[in-house]
């Protein structure tokens, strides 16, 4: 039960998780253990897991203990029958597209982490601090597809930290060009992930479809919505993505060219002052500071800065002039918290605050 301002108790919204046994699914379970609005009542995964208790089906890989109540829930097969209306989805992308469509067409609201539907023109791709107005695409989606349900997505775990850092710059100074190179953690590849012999002592300069995703999703996130149509800004982006031997946390080096000529101080002030809808509405998972700027020469680092604001912040550092473009900096974030489960939970909180879950 959730206490309202007047001391009345409101019933929590029951939620289900598709892909509950995976890396992101486990984060959902952990982050929603004591959630004031949502209560996990239903889990699903592949046929390898269905029919088992969660504790027996899941290779739990988080440091936090598995919540006891969820440990005893049964894992279902990925079918809408018996599932609650609100579904968080973190399925393997080979099956996510079809499964999410099946749930949404059966009337469920699917808040998804997977890439399959992100770039559909009638599917909102949302970061609550960046483009909360894109949720209005739900109306277009429902009209076009004849659904009572809906699919809403959050970006890829690399895109989100880049887009978080760029959105305030675009609003204030206008973007012209963006170059981004990532150093991405192994947990981004799911469980069990990359074989040890491929990654130990190594850097893998290729992550399938990642660069295309980062480029396309960032443009969509920073786009304007006019009459249900997405209108992208006139600026260019190039991404290079690498896998490195870090457990959690994606680090990104970014260079930007801007339409106006701010100082380094102006950039830092815009990031530090950035407040948006989740902070104004005090949504339960909203970080107090969505962007945290560090001034030390050698930060941010995954080892020290990953859990800033409970893993929900984008941490920026090493802001300095770029001899080729205008400025360069580092952005860091937690790929399975703000880059995945935490992002989806915040999206659902935004949706609830706008009446989309009533
Ligand atoms: P994962 O650890 O490999 O988990 C995949 C989940 O999908 C498991 O629960 C698995 O169930 C389930 N699954 C696999 N095949 C299935 C099938 N045929 N039918 C039903 N369920 C099936 O992957 P992950 O890292 O959690 O990623 C999940 C999704 O989130 C992916 O689309 C990924 O791209 C996206 N994502 C991941 C991250 C990240 O940092 N890891 C960040 C953002 C987005 P079983 O355990 O039963 O096999």
Q: Which of 289, 286, 309, 355 is nearest to 35 (CA)?
A: 286
Q: Ligand 1 within 6 A of 19 CB?
A: yes
Task: Encode pLDDT of 247-256 as tens digits.
Answer: 999 999 999 9
Task: Encode pLDDT of 286-321 as tens digits.
Answer: 999 999 999 999 999 999 999 999 999 999 999 999
Which listed residue (108, 117, 134, 157) is catalytic? 157
Q: How many A from CA of 91 to the centre of ligand 1? A: 4
Q: How many A from CA of 46 to the centre of ligand 1? A: 10
HSE-CB of 238 using CA atoms within 13 angstroms = 5
Strand ranges inside 53-154, DSSP E: 75-77, 86-89, 109-112, 150-153
Exposed, middle or buried by CB within 10 Å (0-12, 13-18, 19+), for 213? buried
Q: How far apart are CA 286 and CA 310, in angstroms?
A: 10
The neighbouring-strand residues paired with 151 are 110
- Residue 322 designated active-site: no
Which listed residue (108, 134, 250, 289) is catalytic? 250
Quick check: 222 and 175 in contact, CB under 8 A? yes
Quick check: 169 and 233 in contact, CB under 8 A? no
Q: Ligand 1 within 6 A of 114 CB?
A: yes
Residue 24 has pLDDT above 80, yes or no: yes
pLDDT band at 6 (very low <50, low <70, confident <90, very high): very low
Q: Ligand 1 within 6 A of 140 CB?
A: no
Quick check: 14 and 84 in contact, CB under 8 A? yes
Residue 129: CB partners within 8 Å, gap ≥ 6? 164, 167, 274, 276, 277, 278, 279, 290
Task: Encode pLDDT of 27-50 as tens digits.
Answer: 999 999 999 999 999 999 999 999
Q: Which of 99, 100, 120 is nearest to 110 (CA)?
A: 100
Q: Which of 300, 196, 185 is nearest to 254 (CA)?
A: 300
Q: Ligand 1 within 6 A of 90 CB?
A: yes
- Residue 157 designated active-site: yes
The pLDDT of residue 10: 76
Average pLDDT, the chain: 96
Q: Which domains does the chain have, with CATH numbers?
A: 13-156+341-353 (3.40.50.720), 157-334 (3.30.360.10)
Q: How far apart are CA 107 and CA 96, in angstroms?
A: 17
Four-CA torsion 317, 308, 239, 246, nearest 10 degrees: 110
């Amino acid at each position: 039960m959730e206490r309202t301002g007047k001391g009345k108790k409101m019933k929590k919204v029951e939620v289900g998780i598709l892909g509950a046994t995976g890396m992101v699914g486990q984060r959902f379970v952990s982050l929603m253990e004591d959630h004031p609005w949502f209560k996990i009542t239903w889990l699903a995964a592949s046929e390898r897991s269905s029919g088992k208790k969660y504790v027996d089906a899941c290779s739990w890989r988080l440091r936090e203990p598995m919540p006891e109540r969820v440990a005893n829930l049964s894992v279902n097969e990925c079918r809408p029958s018996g599932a609650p209306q609100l579904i968080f989805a973190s399925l393997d992308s080979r099956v996510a597209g079809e499964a999410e469509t099946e749930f949404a067409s059966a009337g469920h609201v699917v808040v998804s982490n997977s890439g399959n539907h992100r770039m559909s023109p009638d599917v909102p791709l949302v970061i609550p601090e960046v483009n909360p107005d894109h949720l209005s695409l739900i109306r277009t989606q429902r009209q076009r597809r004849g659904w009572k349900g809906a699919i809403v997505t959050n970006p890829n775990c690399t895109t989100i930290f880049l887009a978080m850092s760029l959105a305030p710059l675009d609003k204030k100074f206008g973007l012209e060009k963006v170059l981004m190179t990532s150093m991405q953690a192994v947990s981004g590849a799911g469980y069990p992930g990359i074989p040890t012999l491929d990654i130990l002592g190594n850097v893998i300069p290729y992550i399938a479809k990642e660069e295309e995703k980062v480029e396309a999703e960032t443009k969509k996130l920073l786009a304007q919505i006019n009459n249900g149509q997405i209108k992208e800004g006139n600026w260019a982006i190039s991404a290079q993505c690498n896998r490195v031997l870090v457990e959690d946390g994606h680090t990104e080096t970014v260079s930007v060219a801007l339409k106006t000529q701010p100082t380094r101080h102006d950039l830092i002030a815009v990031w530090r002052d950035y407040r948006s809808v989740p902070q104004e509405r005090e949504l339960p998972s909203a970080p107090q500071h969505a962007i945290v700027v560090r001034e030390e020469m050698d930060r941010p680092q995954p080892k020290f800065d990953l859990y800033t604001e409970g893993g929900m912040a984008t941490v920026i550092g090493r802001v300095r002039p770029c001899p080729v473009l205008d400025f360069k900096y580092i952005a860091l974030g937690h790929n399975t918290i703000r880059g995945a489960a935490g992002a989806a939970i915040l999206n659902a909180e935004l949706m609830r605050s706008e009446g989309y879950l009533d």
